[in-house]
Amino acid sequence: MTKIGMKPTKTFARVKCPECESETIVFVSAKTTVYCLNDECKTVLAVPKGGKAEIKGEIVELLA
Ligand SMILES: [Zn+2]
């Protein structure tokens, strides 16, 4: 239903970690680097890119 394009209008994204497959809720406009919540993984999931963050993992779902 929701198409994931270049300009997501949602605020949060549920991102699946490419390393451990845990899902972490990421603020789409994160101003700081976001890491996987799994303490033994801590893969970078989002990198701030002036406004919108660059999501590194798979976006499972966009949340309002
Ligand atoms: Zn992980």
Q: What confidence tens digit (pLDDT) does each residue in 21-43 have?
A: 999 999 999 999 999 999 999 99
Note the pLDDT of residue 38: 95
Domain 12-63 has CATH 2.20.25.100: yes
For the chain, the domains span 12-63
Question: Separation of 43 CA from ligand 1 center, angstroms?
Answer: 5
Confidence (pTM): 0.79
Question: Separation of 42 CA from ligand 1 center, angstroms?
Answer: 6
Question: Separation of 28 CA from ligand 1 center, angstroms?
Answer: 18
pLDDT tier at 4, thresholds 50, 70, 90: low
Question: Separation of 4 CA from ligand 1 center, angstroms?
Answer: 22
17-46 burial: b if 16+ Cβ within 10 Å, else e: beeeebbbebebebeeebbbeeeebeeebb
Question: Separation of 2 CA from ligand 1 center, angstroms?
Answer: 25
Helix (H) or strand (E) holding 14: strand 12-16
